[in-house]
Amino acid sequence: MAEKVVVIGAGIGGLVSAALLAARGCDVTVIEKEPQVGGKARRLEVDGGAIDAGPTVFTLHEVFEDIFRACGSNLRAALDIKPAQVIARHAWTPDERLDLFADPLRSEETIGDFAGAEAARGYRNFRAEARRIYNILDESLLRQGKVFWPLPLMQRIGLTRVGDLAAIRPYESLWKVLGEHFADPRLRQLFGRYTTYCGSSPFDSPATLMLIAHVEAKGVWLIDGGMSALAEALKALAEANGATFRLGEGVARIETDRDGVSGVVLRRSERIAADTVLCNADPAALAYGQFGEAARRAVGKTPQGRRSLSALVWLAHAKTSGFPLSRHNVFFSPDYAAEFRATGSGQQIADPSVYVCAQDRDADVARTGASPATDGGRERFQVIVNAPANGDSHTFTQQELDQCTQAMTRSLARCGLELEPDFPHQLVTPADFEALFPSTGGALYGRASHGWAASFLRQGAATRIPGLYCVGGSTHPGAGVPMAALSGQIGARAAMARLASMRKSHPAGMAGGMSTRSARTGATA
């Protein structure tokens, strides 16, 4: 009889776990409280159109190629993806603009034109250091189960490579190390922004996180249909291998017995027995009792002061003028440190940096900056400003919402981008994210990556309850779509190892992945 697996939550990590475990022959049921899959990678209807409301930057596509291959399918057959020539467009004023390109030599040349030959050399050295850190940690940490500092990590890296342990620079802040590469404060601001990909401050995060810059430099890809299309493709992949999805149904509690997890009870009181449960929710939801008293002991609580950032997110249809938009655009404030002082003290940012994803701009538009032809001249935008994760203690008044919109549009106008007055939009706040992801305060990335030990304090797949595992962007190895997928792989691998140990006849172990024949498709899994 196939092992029964319940996956709570259909975010990217849960979808990956479900697909891999179904491909291994497990009887997988995915329970998702929302009517659609994707978790944060969701779509919302605004002004008569669907807008991607979650992550927008797709990197490390090879992670997903491996997952689809392991499940007997092909990523390129499931999705239409293409490389973006412009990684992102950055602006400080109407006359200060800088593009980063998929071609690093072109980026280097552009940086030289923008800030001088020394800045170009600094970028070359920064890129080499970021690449080295990524290569050290890719197999030893990012793709493995949680490890601790320093001896277990040293064993993963290799005892003969002690220099590599120092090279990841955990004891220095990213902002400090960026000063070694860039004299121009605008470039420190640009590359410091990568810590916000995991909801953290460049002033408090270790220099290790410069690896995020290398991840993006490896390539940004555009998905036809947006990130929500990736979630739907993963759902179809899991279903093709026999997984069952129950959308619009929530889990009231996780049940345990003396051997560990035993099943889940839905909010409508139905019980589903399970040999294994994978929880694709922020671990805080377990710790604070969102899944019942028995599950509280599964993980430790993350102090509220350690939460990652939340966000204010405008989902809009708007006409624009002035600035030649690419797909991904960043408009920087004149005082970056002030932004993080504000969020650190629980305040909204008065003069924020703003990220704009112009979702109707394709690769050709990104090169020319021309406005796409859309109905009525309006385009779909996702606009993001960092915010403190206090959604469980603060609800915005309409006046505050209006003030935040005014601050955002002022920041854009300062850099040359004008939005039409009273543009149709929906504004998502930390309180809205708290409602979607309870016990987080609206934190979008789990625990903040502040301090040298942050990467080793993040919740791993295994919990204190046998058979209960955590997956998703709030668990190891960290935030972001590819990291959530890696978490799903790690969780599925851990679950299969335990299930194998419980059988009377143990199958061969999996060395680093899912590499046996699928019980359902016969494909390599």
Give the DSSP H or E segment for 340.
Answer: helix 336-344
Q: How far is CA 15 from the centre of its chain?
A: 14
Predicted local confidence at residue 372, as pLDDT:
55
Predicted local confidence at residue 364, as pLDDT:
43
Instruction: Report whether 317 contacts 378 (CB < 8 A).
Output: yes
Instruction: Locate 279 and state its tokens.
Output: 């929880």
Task: Show Cβ contacts of residue 208 under 8 Å, excluding neighbours closer than 6 positions.
Answer: 133, 137, 168, 169, 170, 455
Question: In 342-501, where do the E strands start and end?
Answer: 354-358, 379-387, 418-419, 425-428, 468-470
Task: Show Cβ contacts of residue 12 under 8 Å, excluding neighbours closer than 6 positions.
Answer: 38, 39, 41, 230, 231, 234, 472, 473, 481, 484, 485, 488
- Assign 3-state DSSP to the chain and report helix, strand, coil percentages, each to 5: 40, 20, 40
- 20 phi, psi to nearest 5 deg: -65, -45
How far apart are the C-alpha atoms of 352 and 64, rounded to whole Å? Answer: 34
CATH of the structural domain 4-80+226-303+447-502, one choice from 3.40.50.1370, 3.30.70.120, 3.40.50.970, 3.50.50.60: 3.50.50.60
Predicted local confidence at residue 48, as pLDDT:
84
Instruction: Report whether 280 contacts 251 (CB < 8 A).
Output: no
Task: Give the torsion sign (CA, 10, 14, 19, 22).
Answer: negative
Give the Å distances, CA to CA, from 82 to 90, 102, 215, 276, 391.
Answer: 22, 12, 17, 37, 36
Cβ atoms < 10 Å from Cβ of 457 = 17
Would you list the domain boundaries of the chain?
A: 4-80+226-303+447-502, 105-218, 309-436
Predicted local confidence at residue 165, as pLDDT:
59
Q: What is the 3-state secondary structure (H, E, C) of 261-318?
A: EEEEEECCCCEEECCEEEECCCHHHHHCCCCCCCCHHHCCCCCHHHECCEEEEEEEEE
Give the DSSP H or E segment for 92.
Answer: strand 86-93
- 487 phi, psi to nearest 5 deg: -60, -40
Helix (H, G, I), strand (E, B) or coil at 26: coil
Instruction: Report whether 449 contacts 209 (CB < 8 A).
Output: yes
- List, run by run, the mean pLDDT of 10-residue segments along the chain (525 residues): 92 98 97 96 90 94 96 95 95 97 96 98 96 82 62 51 65 94 97 95 93 91 94 98 97 96 96 97 95 94 85 96 96 97 95 96 52 67 97 94 97 97 95 96 92 78 96 91 95 93 56 43 39
Helix residue spans in 99-183 (DSSP H): 104-115, 117-137, 151-157, 162-167, 174-181
Instruction: Report whether 235 contacts 11 (CB < 8 A).
Output: no
Predicted local confidence at residue 507, as pLDDT:
47
Q: Is the pTM of this model over 0.75?
A: yes
Predicted local confidence at residue 147, as pLDDT:
54
Predicted local confidence at residue 285, as pLDDT:
95
How far apart are the C-alpha atoms of 412 and 39, rounded to whole Å? Answer: 29
Instruction: Report whether 245 contacts 239 (CB < 8 A).
Output: yes
